[in-house]
Amino acid sequence: MSSRDKILATVKANQPEQRALPELRLGAGGADGAVAAGVGAGGGDLSAAAGTDLSAAFITMLEAIGGSAYMVSGYERIATILREQHPRVGRIISGCPELEVFAETGKRYADPHVLEDVGLAVLKAHFGVAENGACWITEDRMIERALPFIAQHLALVIRCQDIVADMHGAYEWIEKIEGAAAQAEGAGAEKGVGSYGFATFIAGPSKTADIEQSLVLGAHGPRSLLVFLIDEGLSDAGFY
Amino acid sequence: MKGKDHAALADEFNKDEPRVNWHDETLWWVRQKRDKAAHKVPEWEELRETASQIKNNVLSNLSEYLQQFEAAATANGITVHWAADAAEHNAIVLSILRRHQVDKMVKSKSMLTEECHLNEFLSTQGIDVVDTDLGERVVQLAGEPPSHIVLPCIHKKKEEIGEIFHEHLGTPKGNADPQFLTHAARLHLREKFLTRRVALTGVNFAVAETGEFVVCTNEGNADMGAHLADVHIASMGIEKLIPLRKHLGVFLRLLTRSATGQPITTYSSHFKKPRPGQEMHVVFVDNGRSVHLGRKDFRNSLKCIRCAACFNTCPVYRRSGGHSYHTAVAGPIGSILAPNLDREKYADLPFASTLCGSCSNVCPVKIDIHEQLYKWRQVIVQAGTAPLAKKVAMKTMNWVLSNPSVYHGAGKAGRWFMLNAPFTVNNGLNLWYKQRDMPGVPKESFGEWYKKNKK
């Protein structure tokens, strides 16, 4: 008998009587059962469904965990701010074609080790989560899986309306992204098309408190994290 | 029982009183951060209840979920292995390393590999393992096991870490600045990440529905290792399964708030497929879990998500230190998990508790930890594996309490001895008097007083 069969047989013999899964009625959309029903069912934005401005809560949380946030009108402002914030950062790679004069864009890399010297990576994330300051990013937006971790500094870009209240909303959104991608692949696409091979929530810069509980930013990954929230209706006039 | 038991090891830890106080206060501070974070979530109790119910479902369906995960992960290009025990787990890891002719690897935090003593095994096979979590690297360089599952070197002062880094990493002698030391470790470990072809990580959650697994770190070390390596091995206990991906929403909200008071870890990475050209392995480890599942009174401990909230709140853990538990997972949860692996070796651990119940109150998946501690005590005493002094004391107590005349006589005798010959009671043989003062001795018992005054 293989270990597999032995383990499965013992587990099966010992597992208790069937217990039902609970219904998920938690989170901002959960009180009225909206999460269970699917917040995005109406086809609108998940964030809009929450009906409140979540960007302020997101920014407060992000700052509390060591990140910083900027509301910007577009990529021109992003380039200006990054030049000011990271004047001598060295090699910059971006997944935003809008930043091509500012960074390496549109390249693929055969070996992640060539990213060793990246000073700054600027990547588009999908959405932010207000309750914890995290952003969800899938590997198609990372250029290389290693990039958001190996870069000395990281900047993420989202639209300011793309923020969910909590993690329940986040997983609803993730499902929606996959659904849309599968649809784009064609109606005959099999399940799982458009889904990521790797994805992550990033909440603030890399950090540790392993030495006497003293918080230090910049453990192995980026030492800083900037999140840009693009609000196209925003005027640049008030800045600087 | 071979080796020192919890009480003897705690005694050693307690020799340095200021350090015990510091350890106690540091962990209590982490507990307070947990409270603050939990209280900010109005539906916290509902979250705990939901998580508990999901885990109940997992235990009742585990054989199906394991197969479902295996099928989905295999379809995603992940190789799934099954290890009946620690030795088989270690052999599987070694065979992967050998096939790639690799003798060095990086490893992120995995309590399972501590349980399996993977590092020791691989070193006998000529394989060099570098632990990449900062706290784990510190204890690895110090030649010690982690003393806490979330904060591995919480028992070390920064000056000691400075000394370890001076010796092994060449940092200036006397420099104990956490910022400086962390930076030194960053440079030291970056070189390891860039040169190792195999990376091993633990697993926080594995999703049966999608065949993906989630690894949570603050440092980014699991990701640095996995994304730069040709081969990623992820080792997990079979109880880490959850049914659906959306259940991660529940567990990720609970995990870090319970652990450190953070709203979420910096990175919650979802691994579903190897990157092109990479190999990805998942090793399911049983090592006693499938048998434990059959123990009605104790199976709930398999719901544990390893947040360590029960450690931080435990008055015994905080004042005895993680090493006093002489097992990979210390604290209250470790004290109910370890006897399952070896009841004799860990017969002392269920007694390393005041049964105050604080552990059960903070547990994010509602494990009845203190009740299981109490039940383990009964199992251990009935099996005759309790410590001898405890056995004798309990037998004597039983005789005294079940014989009224003996009871009254013993009370009288006790009071006489405490008044006239306190050394016969308060001596090295009576553990009750360790770190406690003598109470004042009444002249008569309540029974005697009542007889005199009942009119």
For residue A195, the chain B residue with the least C-alpha distance is B272
Residue B62 has pLDDT above 90, yes or no: yes
User: Among residues of chain A, what percentage have pLDDT more than 70?
Assistant: 84
- How large is the average pLDDT for residues B138-146? 96
Q: How confident is the model at residue A188 (pLDDT cuts 50, 70, 90)?
A: low
B294 and A14: CB-CB below 8 Å?
yes
Contact between A106 and A143 under an 8 Å Cβ cutoff? The reply is no
CA angle A59/A33/B214 to nearest 5° reads 55
**A202 conformational bin, left if phi > 0, alpha if psi -120 to 50, beta if neither:** beta
Q: Report the pLDDT value the prediction gives residue B170, as an integer from 0 to 100.
A: 95
Return d(Cα B171, Cα B370) in angstroms, integer.
44
Confidence of residue B2 (pLDDT cuts 50, 70, 90): low
Contact list in B for residue A36 (CB cut-off 8 A) is none
Q: State the pLDDT at residue A189.
A: 52
- Cβ pair B219:A26 closer than 8 A: no
Determine how β-strand A224-230 pairs with β-strand B104-107: unpaired
pLDDT tens for residues B283-304? 999 999 999 999 999 999 999 9
Query: What residues 111-150 of chain B have any CB closer than 8 A to a CB of chain A?
Result: 132-135, 138
SS3 track for B71-105: HHHHHCCCEEEEECCHHHHHHHHHHHHHHCCCCEE
User: Which position has the higher pLDDT, B133 or A191?
Assistant: B133
pLDDT band per the 50, 70, 90 thresholds, residue A122: very high
H or E element: which one contains B214? strand B212-217
Average pLDDT over residues A6-22: 97
Give the H/E segment covering residue B234.
strand B231-237
Whether the pLDDT of residue A32 is over 50: the answer is: no
Taken in order A149, A150, A152, A155, the sign of the CA dihedral is negative
Which burial class, exposed, middle or buried, applies to B277 when counting CB atoms under 10 A from its CB (0-12, 13-18, 19+)? exposed
Listed by number, the residues of chain B in 202-261 with a beta carbon closer than 8 Å to a beta carbon of chain A are 210, 218-221, 223-224, 227-228, 238, 243-250, 252-253, 260
pLDDT of the residue at B387: 72
* Residue-level pLDDT at A52: 61
Reading the block at residue B247, the tokens are 């259940």
Residue B419 has pLDDT above 60, yes or no: yes
Chain B residues 26-45 with a CB less than 8 Å from chain A: 26, 29-30, 41, 43
Tens-digit pLDDT profile for residues B365-400: 999 999 999 999 999 988 887 777 777 777 888 888
CB contact under 8 A, B223 and A200: yes
pLDDT value at residue B268: 98
Mean pLDDT score, A111-124:
96
Q: Which residues of A touch B189 (CB under 8 A)?
A: 220
Q: What are phi and psi of B233, to 5 degrees?
A: -110, 130
pLDDT, tens digit, for every residue of B297-343?
999 999 999 999 999 999 999 999 999 999 999 999 999 999 999 99
Confidence band for A236, pLDDT divided at 50, 70 and 90: low
pLDDT > 90? residue B363: yes
Confidence of residue B169 (pLDDT cuts 50, 70, 90): very high
Residue of A112, A166, A210 with shortest CB distance to B151: A210
pLDDT of residue B399: 83
Task: Give contacts of A27 with chain B, Cβ < 8 Å.
Answer: 43, 249
Checking if the pLDDT of B87 tops 80, the result is yes
Model confidence at A39, pLDDT cuts 50, 70, 90, reads very low
Strand partners, B128: B104
* B163 in contact with A, Cβ within 8 Å: no
Distance CA A78, CA A93 (A): 14
Tell me, rounded to whole angstroms, the distance of Cα A61 from its chain centroid. Answer: 15
When pLDDT is averaged across residues B228-245 and rounded to a whole number, the result is 98
**Residue B3: pLDDT band with limits 50, 70, 90:** confident
Alpha-carbon radius of gyration of chain A: 21
> What is the pLDDT at residue A33?
36
Three-class SS of chain A? CCHHHHHHHHHHHHCCCCCCCCCCCCCCCCCCCHHHHCHHHHCCCHHHHHCCCCHHHHHHHHHHCCCEEEEECCHHHHHHHHHHHCCCCCEEEECCHHHCCCCEECCCCCCHHHHCCEEEEEEECCEEECCCCEEEEEHHHCCCCCHHHHCCEEEEEEECCCEECCHHHHHHHHHHHHHHHHHHCCCCCCCCCCCCCEEEEECCCCEECCCCCCCEECCCCCCEEEEEEECCCCCCCCCC
pLDDT at A77: 95
Q: How far apart are CA B237 and CA B46, in angstroms?
A: 26
pLDDT in tens, B396-417: 888 888 888 888 888 888 788 7
The pLDDT value recorded for residue A182 is 75
Interchain CB distance below 8 Å, B223 and A195:
no
Summarize the confidence of residues A5-20 as an average pLDDT. 97
Interface with chain B: mutation pick from A5, A6, A12, A15, highest number of B CBs within 10 Å = A15
Contact between B263 and B37 under an 8 Å Cβ cutoff? The reply is: yes
Give me the sheet containing B79-83, strands edge to edge.
B79-83, B279-285, B231-237, B198-201, B104-107, B128-131
B84, B183, B228: residue with CB nearest A113:
B228
Phi-psi sector, B29: left (phi>0), alpha (psi -120 to 50), beta? alpha
Instruction: Answer whether B224 sits within 8 Å of A150, measured CB to CB.
Output: yes
What pLDDT was estimated at residue B1?
54
CA distance B8 to chain A (A): 26
CA B355/CA B369 separation, integer angstroms: 9
What mean pLDDT comes out for the span B257-266?
97
Q: Is the dihedral of CA A117, A141, B246, B74 positive or negative?
A: negative
